[in-house]
Chains A and B, each alone.
Chain A
Amino acid sequence: MQENRGVWVYIEQNEGKIEGVSLELLGAGRKLADKLEVPLAGVILGDSIRHLSDEVIYHGADEIYVIEHSVLKQYRTESYMKGVIQLAEAYKPEIFLYGATPNGKDVASAVATDLSTGLTADTTMLDVDVEKRLLEASRPAFGGNIMATILCKKHRPQMATVRPKVMKALPRDSSRKGRVIEEKMDLREEEMRTKVLEIVKDVTKPGLADAHIIVCGGKGMGDERGFQLIHELADVMGAGVGGTRDVVEAGWIGHDHQIGQTGETVTPKIYFAIGLSGAIQHLVGMKNSETIIAINKDPHAPIFGVSTYGIVGDAHEIVPLLIKQFKEAFKKGGEKTHA
């Protein structure tokens, strides 16, 4: 355990493109590495992906471990975990971070089992205890507005998956230099048990993650009919619609629209939080939005703690006023903008 050194970030690439969360983790990992005074390294696997190494270095890494192999063309648990384990056993990092995406969680879970080490899921805060060299990975704990810090004292590497869009990527700096370490791996397609037959991209999905404005409604809208106000307000601005978990479970809107810990994480320019209390599991999914506008009849609702502008009042009164005034203002201005 003494010999484990360095902070690693698993760089997830899909079809030769690095996922945003991996760059965010390089930003977060950089801080941890600086505190511990160790190098920050990226780990990337795939087929013909060598050229991505520079990007990883430009975003903060000192080193990048690369495994290229034709069998790694598509993500598969069995081949990717094998590569990651091979690297971790050979170079022994002390901290290893992964994006909490379907594939990031998948590979991390398998790797943790084989390395017999601890893995903290869906982390939203990261820090280190420099003296003890301990990763402090914090995540919302069940129920209530509580965070739990998870530690892994005796096993290395200390691993965590981290929610997309909660950490900040560093600005790209193409003058940064780093070391590229290329590894060989023994893989044979005939020995793979799993085959990817087809990958289907769903382009029609509402794509909340890309929306500039999101109107999110909560239980305070009363019922499914009351929730229509959320749709109406979103419609006049051409915004995306979101819901809290309670609203999704009540069936007022589909699960694809859930924002928060067990739904989407979003960072729009403007986020309307209407008739929702602002539970921690909801906040982790939206609090990095640029401008947050909250409407709630309870002046003590936690949502006002993160909002840029707050209106204490009844959503059923305020929202129709907003819709009306917004429409009028747009007409008066005579301007129309197109997406």
Chain B
Amino acid sequence: MHIVVCVKQVPDTKIIKINPKTNTLDRRSAPAILNPYDAHAVQAAVKVKEEYGGLISVLSMGPPQAVEIIKKSVEIGADGGYLITDRAFAGADTLATSYALFKALDRISKDKPIDLIICGKHAIDGDTGQVGPGIARRLDIPPITNVIEISDIDLKIRKVRVKRKIINGYERIETGLPCLLTVEKEINPIEYSPLPNMIRAARYQPVIWAVSDLDEVDRTQLGLKGSPTIVGKMFTPPKPEGGHVLEGTPSEQAGQIVEVLLKNKELFSVN
């Protein structure tokens, strides 16, 4: 069983700073990390491998430094990884990104056919969740989004069963392999990396490909050129007026709020 996990290097949005003059990201302020949802995706692959055996490869598109997140994935338990990196990929939106990753997956599957692709639900820098389904469409395999459990895999009849989050609950789905899953964080906690993984990760060097290493690439579909969406403008949202700032001692202010609350008695479900 060959599982490929798609991973992305993202700025840690918790620490990120914006330059208020230019409305652009101050990259120096943001350390680059493995997208948290992708860490859960790698962990999910490790769980599947523990039960059914196989090989885990990770794939990333990004700058040369993204090698670091492939090493991080090896720490979690991936067997190896591929990084596609090229100027031509720069400025890609979700459509162009899914095209580039699709081409890389195509190349990987020529060496070793892929049975299952796992992606994180979304990347925390863009929050779109559109790349996973995009890859699946291009490969013409079923995309299953918002997966919270991978319960059964039957390699003989090539079927997998998963739980998928929906509005107010979940659904259990069965689909054929190969397929693509995007996973939520609750699929599994990230476990501590065993020492041998850490040692292997420290020395690990992924396979690195440029566009020229991929087959039959239509360059007009890559990067900025291949991206239908562009950022028109960045702006600070109009500042709302805001309301009434209360005055008085803390106790008087609390009293004013209680008065407001008592006007809405019907809302309280206390007894």
Contact = CB atoms under 8 A, between A and B. Distances in A.
Interface of A: 14, 19, 74, 77-78, 81, 101-103, 105-106, 108-110, 112-114, 116-122, 136, 138, 141-155, 193-203, 205, 212-213, 236-239, 246, 249, 255, 261-262, 269-270, 280, 287, 291-293, 299, 304-314, 317-318, 321-322, 325-326, 329-330, 333, 335-339
B93 A118 contact: yes
Contacts of A142: 11, 13, 16, 25, 124-127
Given A141-B231, A339-B269, 9 more contacts: A105-B130, A118-B93, A142-B124, A194-B176, A199-B166, A199-B171, A310-B245, A311-B254, A317-B250
Interface string B235-265: 1110111111110001101111110111011
B107 interface: no
Given A198-B172, A313-B253, A325 B268 contact: no
Contacts of B169: 199-202
Contact of B161 (A197, A261, A270, A304): A197
Contacts of A280: 237
B112 interface: no
Interface in B218-233: 227-233
Interface in B1-44: 11, 13-14, 16-18, 20, 23, 25, 30
Contacts of B250: 311, 313-314, 317-318, 321
Interface in B115-131: 124-130
A147 B230 contact: no
Contact of B130 (A119, A269, A309, A318): A119
Contacts of A335: 265
B195 interface: no
Nearest to B135: A113
Contacts, number: 274
Given A106-B145, A147-B235, A155-B228, A337 B268 contact: yes
B202 interface: no
A118 B230 CA distance: 9
A110 B168 contact: no
Contacts of A122: 127-128
Interface stretch (B70-78, B136-144, B205-213): B136-144
Contacts of B233: 148-149
A195 B173 contact: yes
Given A118-B93, A200-B170, A141 B175 contact: no
Given A136-B232, A212-B267, A109 B258 contact: no
B269 A338 contact: yes
Contacts of B179: 193
A280 B16 CA distance: 14
Given A77-B142, A106-B145, A262 B127 contact: yes
